[in-house]
Amino acid sequence: MKIEEHNRAAWDREVERGNEWTKPVSAEQIEAARRGVWEVLLTNTRPVPREWFPELKGLDVLCLASGGGQQAPLFAAAGARVTVLDNSPKQLAQDRFVADRDALELKTVQGLMSDLSCFADESFDLIFHPCSNLFTQDVRPVWRESFRVLRHGGILLAGFLNPVIYIFDAELAERGRLEVKHQLPYSDLESLSQEERALRIESGDPLEFGHTLTDQIGGQLDAGFVLHGFYEDGHGASHQLSRYTATLIATRAVKP
């Protein structure tokens, strides 16, 4: 099966279902961003430190696999020249909706986070990449392509899942029981039984991949980035594993 096509349709459905990561920011939030008052998430609950950002006015920003009408419109309202790339047309439509509603300059591009061939080398000053690379089978091309399209001195802000989340039986975890079941790296296509995989695909939910920290952090370093920032976050008290450890990670990396 074609993972990209399945996940494209899955995220289009998430928009229809009103998933929290598909709900556009309000006109009031846009007006505040125009005054310099804004915050965004790379992970789940902890806002990205403002010192991680350069002055946005006049910067070329790529919101990578970041559709949904949330981060990109705020950056545009703050004065950046923003491009949003996402696999889901309906997620991109949310960004277009905010741009039209609030008269923002914003470009949307449908594509894959692992293939930025539509962009020339050194096209952007900042890449904002929130937790979304769990939906691609191989994360290393994401880092290599990000490095290529960033200018020297450019910044990559990325959020991703702590892979430990994938070693447990997901169904049991939802019932409050943590039982180790899977090896890492994790793949919905290879780690699940044939029956479990069929149910997962039939449900229409996005297919997920749990990348190792060697690929998530080591992959950024191997691509040429220098890490300048790091923090952890969680899914909240209702998430079983979050009671014991951080389940999400954010990094700030710079292209020398």
pLDDT digit string, tens, across residues 157-172: 999 999 999 999 988 9
CB-based contacts of 55, cutoff 8 Å, min separation 6: none
Query: What's 108-157 look like in SS3?
Result: EEECCCCCCCCCCCCCEEEEEECCCHHHCCCCHHHHHHHHHHEEEEEEEE
Over residues 191-226, the pLDDT tens digits come to 999 999 999 999 999 999 999 999 999 999 999 999
CA atoms within 13 A on the CB side of 103: 2
pLDDT per residue as tens digits for the range 81-107: 999 999 999 999 999 999 999 999 999
The one-letter amino acid at 124: F
- Average pLDDT on 104-128 reads 98
| Cα gap 240→165, rounded to integer Å | 10
The confidence score (pLDDT) of residue 13 equals: 97
Q: How many CA atoms lie within 13 A of 149 on its CB side?
A: 26
Q: Exposed/middle/buried for 179, CB within 10 Å: 0-12, 13-18, 19+?
A: exposed
Return contacts of 33-37, CB within 8 angstroms, 24+ apart: 33/73, 33/74, 33/75, 33/77, 33/78, 34/77, 34/78, 36/78
3-state secondary structure of 172: helix
- pTM passes above 0.95: yes
CB 116 within 8 A of CB 91: no
In this structure, what DSSP letter does residue 64 have? E
pLDDT > 90? residue 5: yes
Quick one: average pLDDT of 28-52? 98
CATH level 3 topology of 3-164+212-254 = Rossmann fold (3.40.50)
Statement: residue 47 has pLDDT above 90: yes
Look at residue 1 in the predicted model and tell me its pLDDT. Answer: 67
Residue with tokens 């894959």: 112
Identify whether the C-beta of residue 9 lies closer than 8 Å to the C-beta of residue 203. no
The fraction of the chain above a pLDDT of 70, given in percent, is 100
pLDDT in tens, 228-250: 999 999 998 778 899 999 999 99
CB-based contacts of 185: which residues, under 8 Å, 6+ apart? 163, 209, 210, 211, 212, 215
| 123-141 confidence digits (pLDDT tens) | 999 999 999 999 999 999 9
173 pLDDT above the threshold of 90: no
Q: How confident is the model at residue 30 (pLDDT cuts 50, 70, 90)?
A: very high
> Which residues lie across from 160 on neighbouring strands?
249
Rounded to the nearest integer, the mean pLDDT of the chain is 96
Displacement of CA 177 from its chain's centroid (Å): 28
